[in-house]
Structure 1
Amino acid sequence: RIDRFIELGRESGVPVIEDCAQSIGASHDGKKVGSFGNLSIFSFYATKCMTSGGHGGMVISDSADIIESLNSLTQYDKTQKHSESYNYSLTDLQAVIGREQLKKLDSFIERRQDIAGIYDEVFNNLGQEIPSDGGIYFRYVIEVESPNHYIREMKNQGIVCERPVFKPLHQYLYNGSDNYPNTQRAMEHAISIPIYPSMSDAEIEYVCEAIRTVWGK
């Protein structure tokens, strides 16, 4: 629905900010995420699809005014007038790591997609139909009726599975769950199975065997 948000932004004059923290490298209708809104943010935290050494991020925009405003937030010296600013700059070492990771991003995503395809096949063979959306698979998330049961059983097999998030945003904002039924259901029934590009073939097979054991009962 990003196209509709862009349309609403144009109609109302409200800028659209894309949160691409978990989707760098992904595409929508043949166009890269981060290229739709007026401003887009990316995260380089250690668990994301690429990192700059643990922490860091990136903001992009095709507006010179927005970029100038963002730059002013990090310039706390040699300015003509005082303004609120922050020391949010990456270190040189983090920047080097990030640049090298960016070169490998496509291969990272391809590996994630390959692993997801293997998991899909295992689940499908167990009668668990897993829809494939061709995403970048920052996480491999499946829906189950009893998440705690599967998390516990996978842990018994030596595999750590987690809920995708600790708590959805609307609960922090104290908005009723009835207003967000899809989010609430995802929170109550989704678990995340380990997936990352440096997994060895042996590790992938170990996870697959655990899936066969737990879901095959």
Structure 2
Amino acid sequence: HADAYDRALRTDAKSAFGGIVALNRECDADTATAVADSFKEVVVAPGYTESALDVLTEKKNLRVLDVGALGDGDDRFTERFTEKPIVGGRLVQERDRQSPTADDLEVVTEREPTDEQLETMTFAWKTLKHVKSNGILFATGTETVGVGMGQVSRVDAVTLAAMKSAKDADGKSAEGAVMASDAFFPFPDAIEEAADAGIAAVIQPGGSVNDE
């Protein structure tokens, strides 16, 4: 667990300062020690060992949340709708529970992605779901390399992800990585920007009138 945390942190340790750490496994003492080594606001996990709690509770301003065991039968993941308050009412919409596999993807280029790239594409797509739009994510294997989020321009989101991967990712590179986009590309400019950064494969929802 501590190794996975370290690899995640090395994607952008500077931006992680004062952040939230989310774990999908029980937090052990080694992971807790790694988390406590730098300033964090919150740790959330499906459980903690006693030794991990001993480490984390020594940090005065750190909030430690236990969300309980995560499982396929968990009712928290089967709720159909989400609600958000808005002026004059509430916005109710269907929860996005899509989790595509490699078999769901359509290859639209002459060059076929490798099995490894397909695996990375599905990882990048699932991770990108939690990035603020316009969102771009670079990944290799099951690790993020660079993230560009919250940009008005999709090209700028690609540029930001490339910059973060080049300047802030410790021991990682966009060269040969996969890029995921949360919306289609209406023009080739963002793809060209990604290619200049070394991106080798792209996953995106499609739907532009210029796709053909």
TM-score strictly above 0.5 = no
The structure whose residues are more often strand, as a share, is 2
Larger Rg: 1
Q: TM-score, normalised by structure 2?
A: 0.36
The structure whose residues are more often helix, as a share, is 1
Q: TM-score, normalised by structure 1?
A: 0.35
